Amino acid sequence: MSTPNWRAAPLFLGHGPVRFEIFSEPTCPYSVKAQSKIASLLEAVGAHREEFVLVDHATGPNRDHSLNAVIRRIEALSGLALDAAFSEPALQGVIKWHARYGRQNGIHVSPTFMVSGVIQPQLGSGNDIATWAAAVAAV
């Protein structure tokens, strides 16, 4: 016998944590613009981006710097100890994982913003943080 006006409780799916991801490249001027809004650490490195960029990805004054010299310069700017991470053989696997993750999601430009695994093309480095937060809250 059924109860009059009975309704099943609604089924809610997808109410776990919302993830906001930014795919960026620290020498891209637009990524630097976005990074400066999210962390002073990235701003410290981003403010010096020209010190790390090669002209046409192959020439210029940075060509004379070794990888160790670049790591030391980033450590000095950021205050982080990075040498141990770069000495870790497992780092290559982590970098490959991040590259595959970006490729599978169609990341072709930096910065690219994703909310819970979905690219948000309307978000960019020119937005203020409130716009980013609104996109996260809308999920």
- Whether residue 5 lies inside any domain: the answer is no
Domain of 72, in residue numbers = 20-137
23-45 tens-digit pLDDT: 887 778 888 888 777 765 566 77
Looking at per-residue pLDDT, the higher value among 134 and 86 belongs to: 134
95-114 tens-digit pLDDT: 888 889 889 988 888 899 99
Is residue 33 within 8 Å of 126, Cβ to Cβ? yes
Categorise residue 59: left if φ over 0, alpha if ψ from -120 to 50, beta otherwise.
Answer: beta
Residue type, 69: A
**CATH number for the domain including 78?**
3.40.30.10
Q: For residue 95, what pLDDT is reported?
A: 83
- Whether residue 15 lies inside any domain: the answer is no
- Whether residue 107 lies inside any domain: the answer is yes
Q: What total number of domains does the chain contain?
A: 1
Distance between CA 25 and CA 46 in Å, rounded? Answer: 10
- Whether residue 88 lies inside any domain: the answer is yes
